[in-house]
Amino acid sequence: MAEFTAKDVMKLREQTGAGMMDCKRALVDADGDFEKAAELLRERGIAKAAKRASKVAAEGVVYALVEGKKGVLVEVNCESDFVANGEKFRALVDLIAKQILNVGAHDVSDLLTSDMGGGKTVETFISEQVGIIGEKISVRRFTVFETEGFVETYIHMGGTMGVMLDFGCEETAATKELAHNIALHTAFAKPAYLAAEDVSAETVEKEKAILLQEVHNDEKMAGKPEKVLAGIVEGKIKKFFEENCLLEQKYVRDDKLTIKQLIAQTAKETGTPISVNRFVFFVRGEGIEKKQEDLSEEVAKQVEAMKK
């Protein structure tokens, strides 16, 4: 095998934009031949993936997978809705979800460095798929639930949003129906907390301070005793819990019931203790800033690129 140096690895990295380990592996496989190594990186899609690294991936899907007592909710992003709806991308997302559960990954970094077999990491696998699919692909986030009860999931509109709940009870027809209804409610109401006691004292005090200031600024409240104003603030805090805590929220299909009351009602009817231990929901692309470009600007860029 022809020898190569660290400088060769660095040079190949600068030329292709691929990672250090990918460049080193390509040089080994190419017996130190620089041009052959660069060609290998292109064939594997790694060089192409590196060139797309600066692209904004705000499309994609939120996907859920349940295997026995374990479930995962994962968001995988790409650049366009067209690719997000394609079979290759959907198959890739399913493989990633299975990998998360199989290896017990704790975070995205843990997942990307995990072995998919044959010494290939998830990161390398995704890079290869970028070369095939032609768009930047990134695993943004995921949550795994493992429970003594059962996991319920709901995916909205093919992956624009996903919900996952951990139910602390036996899975029966009645509890499954309840779980499905609460999952739908969660997707609609988007609670920030499970229960009032999950809201930190610091958050409550901050909210009270804001509400008290609002009350003081209200001309209708002028001249009212502080005790009265404090009572109004307490009422507003209760409303805050009702709007932001899943168990305190009014059920979207029957606003005469809170989710807590809905659970208690089903528990009474079935004679089964029922609890919701935790929940999570992801909205696809939430918080990712999409790059907006003027059409004429984009056309001008393409024309310039053609001249080179």
- The CATH classification of domain 6-51, taken from the options 3.20.20.140, 1.10.8.10, 3.30.1330.40, 1.10.3660.10: 1.10.8.10
Domains of the chain, residue spans: 6-51, 61-146, 196-280
Cα separations (Å) of 89 from 63, 71, 118, 147, 204? 12, 20, 22, 29, 43
Q: What is the pLDDT of residue 50?
A: 58
58 pLDDT band (50/70/90 cuts)? confident
Question: How many Å apart are CA 249 and CA 181, to the nearest integer?
Answer: 13
Phi, psi of 292, rounded to the nearest 5 degrees: -105, 125
If one compares 116 and 44, the residue with the highest pLDDT of the two is 116
- The pLDDT of residue 304 is 55
pLDDT higher at 223 or 201: 201
Residue 17 pLDDT > 70, yes or no?
A: no
At the second CATH level, the architecture of 61-146 is 2-Layer Sandwich (3.30)
Give pTM, 2 decimals.
0.76
Contact indicator for 27, 12 with CB cutoff of 8 Å: yes
- With a pLDDT cut of 90, the percent of the chain lying above it is 62
Which of 50-59, 91-100, 127-136, 153-162 comes out lowest in average pLDDT?
Answer: 50-59
Q: Which of 161, 107, 99 is nearest to 126 (CA)?
A: 99
Mean pLDDT of 268-292: 89
Residues 254/182, Cβ–Cβ less than 8 Å: no
